[in-house]
Copies of this chain bind each other. A is one copy, B any other.
Amino acid sequence: MHKPLSTGATIGILGGGQLGRMLSVAAARLGFRSHIFEPGVACPASHVADQLTTASYTDTDALQRFAETVDVITYEFENIPTSALDVLEQVATIRPGREALRISQDRLTEKDFLNSLGLKTAPYAAIDDAPALGAALNAFGTAAILKTRRFGYDGKGQVRLQPDSDPQAAVADLAGQAALLEGFVDFSHEVSVIGARGADGAVCCFDPGENVHSNGILRTTTLPARLSAAQRMDAVLLTANILNALDYVGVMGVELFVTSEGLIVNEIAPRVHNSGHWTQNGCVVDQFEQHIRAIADWPLGDGTRHCDVVMENLIGDDMGRIGTIVKDPTSAVHLYGKAEIKPGRKMGHVNRIVPAQTRKV
C-alpha cells in the first residue's frame, strides 16, 4: 500500500471476539467498513461489523473470498495458522506483518528476539525432554514456570514447578507440545505499554498502565502506573525499539515487569491489548482507532492521556454488579454482547475516570 485508505474502504479483521468488535467500531468512526472472519458462530464483532464470514481457517476458498473483499487485513489474536496467512497474503496486505506474528506465536522465538535487541527477559530454557527440564530446574534453582511455546493465553498452558519437581511427570503432561521453562522474576509490579507504529515509521506510545492479574487473567489497569520518570522513558524507548526492529505497522502490547534491576519484558502481543482498554476514555484517539489509523496508512493519533483511569475487566459473575456500575457517574461501561456468562469469560470492562493529577493536554 502506498497511500492512505479512503473512507469507505474495508478493513478485514481475523477474529470476531471483543477486540475485533472494538476494532470494527473504531474503523466505522473513521468511515471504514469492516469484514470479520471468524470460525465461531454468534461472535461479538458480528453485531457491529458490515460483513461477516463464518468459516474455518482451513477453508482456503473462504479465506480467498474474504481477502478479495477487503483493502487490508489485520487480526485480533496472534495464533492464526500459518497456512491461512499464506493464502491471505497472496491477495491482500496483512498488517501488522508476518514477522511479528512468527515471533509472537512462539515464546522461545520471542525471548530470543527480545534478547537479540539487548532487552532483558526472564531466564529461560528450551525444554524438549525430561532431562532438559531436570537440568534447567537445577540451573535456575528457584521456582519456575513451564510454558508451552505456542497457543497459550490468559495463563493457559502454564504450570508452576519447584526445583525438586518431577521432570518426567511435567514433560508427560505437555503431551508432546514444545515448551520452555521460565525462571521467576522478582518484580514489584507489572506495567504495560501500548505502542503504535505508523506505515510512515512514526512511533507513538500511550502512557504505561499498571496491571493486576488474578488467576492469569487481567483484572485492572491503573493510570498512571507507579513508575519513575526514568522508568517511564525506558518503557517507551524499549517499546519503540521492538516496533522499529520489526518494521511494525499497528498497535502492540508490551508487558513489563518492574524490578530493582530495571524493566524486564514479560511478553509482547502484536495487536490491541486488554491493558489498553483505558485509552477509550482517557485519550482523544484510543488504541483501537490508533491501530486502524496505522494499518490504513493514516497519521497516528496523538495518544496523550487527558485524565487518570482505572480499567476493570468484568469477568463472569462480575456482571452481577452491572446494575450498580451503570449508576456510578465516573464509570464508562463497555459490554461485549456475549450471550452467556461463564466463569473466567471476559464479558466487558469499565473505565473509571478520575481527574488527572497533572493535566497533560
Contact = CB atoms under 8 A, between A and B. Distances in A.
Given A8-B339, A33-B337, A330 B50 contact: no
Interface string A312-339: 0000000100110011011111111111
Contacts of A34: 47
A307 B323 CA distance: 27
Interface in A111-165: none
A281 interface: yes
A2 interface: no
Given A48-B24, A48-B48, A31 B331 contact: no
Residue with the greatest number of chain B CB neighbours at <10 A, chosen from A28, A307, A323, A335: A28
Interface residues of A, number: 51
Contact of A327 (B299, B319, B337, B354): B299
A180 interface: no
A302 B284 contact: no
B332 A284 contact: yes
Contacts of A97: none
B30 A333 contact: yes
12 contacts: A7-B319, A7-B335, A21-B28, A25-B25, A28-B48, A29-B335, A31-B337, A284-B353, A298-B326, A301-B326, A306-B355, A307-B361
